[in-house]
Chains A and B, each alone.
Chain A
Amino acid sequence: MRRALIKVKYAFFIGCATPVLTVNYELATRKVAETLGIELVDITDFACCGFPMKSVSQETAMLMAARTLSIAEKQGLNICTICPGCTSMLTEASKKIEEDQELREKINNKLQKIDRSYDGNIEVKHFIRILYDEVGIEKLQKKVKKSLEGLKIAPHYGCHYTKPSEIYACFDDPELPKSLDDLISFTGAKSVNYENKIQCCGGYVLGVDEGVSFSLASKKLDHVKASKADAIGLICPLCSVMYDRNQRVIERRLNKSYNLPVLFYPQILGLALGLDSSELGLDVNRVKPSSLLEKL
């Protein structure tokens, strides 16, 4: 019998963008988690994390987040997220409600109306952070079946995986983050540095001003292209929507030529774990990573 790497179990908060817009991220995450012995429990009662409601009503957003936390608490499971937006909303709510008794009472008075309650015991972590600081690179390294030597990957951290840093207990530096670089490097691939690495994808304002949003995304594609990386490696469904799903649109509108594959980190890790590219949803990627796969 094959021994699992670690035996951990989380309530899996998949969010909405991933299953609708980037199912490749879902497929790769589920496969990698299964391979590593990380049990992700799907909970059908979950609904929106609240993040998209912050601009409209922070009170509504907070209550939606508290509802999610209360469901996980009832199951006795900490939460694993894969969307950094969900991660930041749920982490912020869990921290504020845990630390502020007055707020906790206020929230519970309202949760009562939907027959729920929350005591403040749930921890929220992005899947990548679970890999980085709970599983750890040392253990992951033992699972590598196929070195990715020869591949050059430009890590894109996005915004809410590290920021605001105060809610994440500064587990990684918001200005000079390194966790994703380290997670790329141990597979044998090279993590490539490039200009303005922490720059935002602009996805949040896509519905407000498409022109601004695409111009911002094109800057990243320019910078990564200049670094001669084979692909971008990222950890957010919205960033992938900007760089992969909309890459052709950006090329057309701004008269550019990129043809730059965009991989989710679990797809990269999955290749190193010896998993098949179709199991990792690589055939779903918009910009086909075939030339990159041929290098392996």
Chain B
Amino acid sequence: MPEKLYPKFKDEISKTPGGENIKRCYQCGTCNVSCPIREIDEKYNPRKIIRMALLGMKERVLSSDFIWLCTACYTCQERCPQDVRIPEMMNAIKNLAVREGYIHDSFLKQAELIESTGWAHTLSEFAKKKREQTGLPAIFKECPEIREIFKITNLNRITHEEGSD
């Protein structure tokens, strides 16, 4: 059975910050030839992702692993003749995927660490002390305001879902 198409998917993307220009794509492929990830692995193919999104293949796009493979180098954005802003558009698609319950595990873990500590990398208490002993300033103070920001932007529901810490 052919998969269900969602013709309004492109509108959802264009209403999400970063995705505004997706409908301008005329499939020239400049993004593909500029993409360092695609050079290594064909399964990441920005032109194809855009085409699939425009055709309304919502579930396949949002549940796919390849949307998480954009390395955000912005080379395609600099070169796109239609100003599609592919890395920003990819963020819009990933943000929609997160809302639909799809998130790559590495990004979920990172979000959880940021929510609980305020930082994407942090040091143990021992390492913090050791740092200060060598004369470097104190860093990574606990930051409850970041937890608050997660609440304000309704993101805590993702990081506190069943099965995650």
Instruction: Kindly state the separation between the CA atoms of A62 and B95 in the bound complex, as whole angstroms.
Output: 13
Least distance between A293 CB and chain B CB atoms (Å): 22
CA distance A208 to B160 in the complex (A): 21
Q: Mark A264-291, 1 if CB is under 8 A from B, else 0.
A: 0000000000000000000000000000
CA–CA, A42 and B132, complex, Å: 13
Chain A residues near B149 (CB-CB < 8 A) = 60, 63-64, 67, 110, 114
**How many residues of A sit at the interface, in one of the four size bands?**
35 or more
**Which B110-165 residues sit within 8 Å CB-CB of chain A?**
110-111, 114, 118-123, 131, 136-141, 143, 145-146, 148-150, 152-153, 155, 158
A52-B95 in contact (CB<8A) = no
Q: How many Å from the CB of B18 to the closest CB on chain A?
A: 6
A8 adjacent to chain B (CB < 8 Å):
no
Asked if A164 meets B69 with Cβ closer than 8 Å, knowing A19-B123, A63-B152, the reply is no
B29 CB-CB contact with A under 8 Å: no
Residue A17 at the chain B interface, CB threshold 8 Å: yes
Contacts of A102 in B (CB 8 A): none
Q: Which residues of A contact B131 (CB under 8 A)?
A: 19
What total of A-B pairs shows CB separation below 8 Å? 154
Given contacts A56-B107, A199-B36, A216-B37, contact A163 B153 (CB under 8 A): no
Cβ-based interface call for A48 (8 A):
yes
Residues of B with C-beta under 8 A to A54: 72, 91
Q: Once bound together, how far apart are the Cα atoms of A45 and B108, in whole Å?
A: 24
Nearest B-chain residue to A213, judged by Cβ: B71
A204: contacting residue among B17, B71, B94, B145, CB under 8 A:
B71
Closest 7 CB pairs between A and B?
Answer: A207-B106, A47-B118, A163-B74, A200-B73, A20-B121, A16-B121, A47-B143
Q: Which residues of B contact A (CB under 8 A)?
A: 17-18, 36-37, 39-41, 44, 65, 68-75, 77-78, 85, 87, 91-92, 94-95, 98, 103-104, 106-111, 114, 118-123, 131, 136-141, 143, 145-146, 148-150, 152-153, 155, 158
A-B contact pairs, 18 of them (CB 8 A): A16-B140, A17-B120, A20-B121, A44-B138, A53-B111, A54-B72, A55-B94, A55-B95, A58-B91, A58-B95, A110-B149, A116-B145, A159-B72, A163-B75, A202-B37, A205-B68, A208-B68, A212-B44
